[in-house]
Amino acid sequence: MPDIEINASLTRMLDTNGKVVGNLPDFARDQTELLRLYRTLVLTRTFDTKAIALQRTGRLGTYASSLGQEAVAVGAAAAMRKDDALLPSFREHGGQLWRGVTPKELLLYWGGDERGNNFAGPRGDFPNCATVGSHLAHAVGVALAFRLRGEKRAAVCVFGDGATSKGDFAEALNMAGVWKVPAVFVINNNGWAISVPRAKQSAAETLAQKAVAAGFPGEQVDGNDVIAVRAITERALARARDELGPSLIEAVTYRLCDHTTSDDASRYRDDAEVSRHWPAEPLARLRNFLTNSGFWDRDKEEALLRECNSAIEQAAAEYLATPAQPASAIFDYVYAEAPAELIEQREAANAFMRGQHD
């Protein structure tokens, strides 16, 4: 299969056939690390598949798949340390899974249960951000907190190409640059913001170049090459820890799925375009590399698929078996301590609902 053409400035370690085309970083020579990366990519895709099936059968809310873009969040998260903070948009399940958010927690979130955001694992990570781009400033604040305490921690913020059109993006990057905070901004440039293609989003030649205006480096990476994404993010994080300031990474990928389960991309996007991008997808690429390196074979693949399926099926069963919070829970956590007027509303609501069920 011919390799898909790429922009010359874009960093890439593996071509679409999994052939080495760049200088491999050390972790890419470590079989355990490679298999961990591959497992998380497969787990993410398995999760996406199950989540869509649950949504289609009325058992999950609207869902945003990461199909084809798994390597962006997984690669970025894999570059992070445990005590760094991830601030995702809403397509970063792969990165969240890598960092220890459980598939059950993710399903609870997408199933409309706030408890899904109460991660038992990465306690400092932010929940998803549906108001596009508004979480970049939070990343600046989190990173500033790390720097003010003299900690060698960093914030990683992921968002889509559409977010780069927002004032929030310009403001946050500008502030991050002035204060040289330890933050890494990762654009999941999947080519589409719902129905608006990249070309109609910005006249800038690359989105990475928007970092120039903020006074720090920005670069493009092949977002379907998990090794390259991780390597570039590791470099940006090292820079952040060395107090050299923030970085912007434009991970160029492609949205093989609809925007969400509420979207029908065939209304605005040619199927042929989608088909053209399938050969560049990230899982096959790493699998080919693993196979070529002698680390992988059909039996291992089948065993992994079985393992991921069973993990996700079990998480789905646990999610489905989790009763919704009681009605009164909507009044919980509004404030640390509920004020009198809210207690009154809660009591009235409780009494009303008891009446409804009598």
Partner 1 sequence: MTELNLVQAINVALKCAMSEDDRVLVLGEDVGINGGVFRATEGLFRLFGEQRVLDTPLAEASIAGVSIGLAAQGFRPVAEIQFAGFAYTCIDQILNHASRLRARTRGRLTCPMVLRSPVGGGIKAVEHHSESPEAMFAHIPGITVVMPSSPARAYGLLLSAIRDPDPVVFLEPTRLYHAAREDVTDDGKGIPLGQCVTLRAGRDVTIASWGAMIKEALEAADQLAADDIEVEVVDVATLKPLDSQAICKSVARTGRLVIVHEAPMTCGYGAEIAARVASRAMTNLLAPIERVTGYDTMMPYLRTEQYYMPSLNGVLAAVRRTMAYT
From the list 177, 166, 175, the residue with the least C-alpha distance to 129 is 166
Strand partners, 251: 188, 221
Residue 352 neighbours by CB distance under 10 Å: 10
The H-assigned helical ranges of the chain are 31-56, 70-78, 93-98, 103-110, 136-148, 167-179, 198-201, 210-214, 226-241, 271-277, 282-292, 298-320, 340-357
Could you give the angle at the alpha carbon of 326 between the alpha carbons of 321 and 330, nearest 5°?
125
Quote the least distance from Cβ 159 to partner 1, whole Å.
Answer: 13
For partner 1, the binding residue among 7, 31, 62, 118 (CB under 8 A) is: 118
Please list every residue from 221 through 260 that binds partner 1, using CB under 8 A.
none
Largest CA distance in the chain: 70
For partner 1, the binding residue among 140, 186, 257, 290 (CB under 8 A) is: 140
Please list every residue from 320 through 339 that binds partner 1, using CB under 8 A.
332-337, 339
Per CB under 8 A, does 131 bind partner 1?
Answer: yes
255 is catalytic: yes
Per CB under 8 A, does 174 bind partner 1?
Answer: yes
**Count of positions on this chain that bind partner 1 (CB under 8 A):** 43
For partner 1, the binding residue among 59, 115, 198, 269 (CB under 8 A) is: 115
Spatial contact of 249 and 223, defined as CB atoms under 8 Å apart: no
Per CB under 8 A, does 341 bind partner 1?
Answer: yes
Per CB under 8 A, does 348 bind partner 1?
Answer: no
335 is catalytic: no
Per CB under 8 A, does 168 bind partner 1?
Answer: yes
Cα end-to-end distance, the chain, whole Å: 67
For partner 1, the binding residue among 144, 187, 227, 315 (CB under 8 A) is: 144
Per CB under 8 A, does 119 bind partner 1?
Answer: yes
Residues 87-119, buried b or exposed e (16+ Cβ, 10 A)?
Answer: bbbbbbbbbbbbbebbbbbbbbbbbebeebeeb
Catalytic residue among 255, 285, 287, 319: 255
Per CB under 8 A, does 9 bind partner 1?
Answer: no
Quote the least distance from Cβ 144 to partner 1, whole Å.
Answer: 6
CA atoms within 13 A on the CB side of 313: 6
Catalytic residue among 56, 268, 333, 354: 268
Quote the least distance from Cβ 291 to partner 1, whole Å.
Answer: 41
63 is catalytic: no
Q: Annotated active-site positions, please?
A: 255, 259, 268
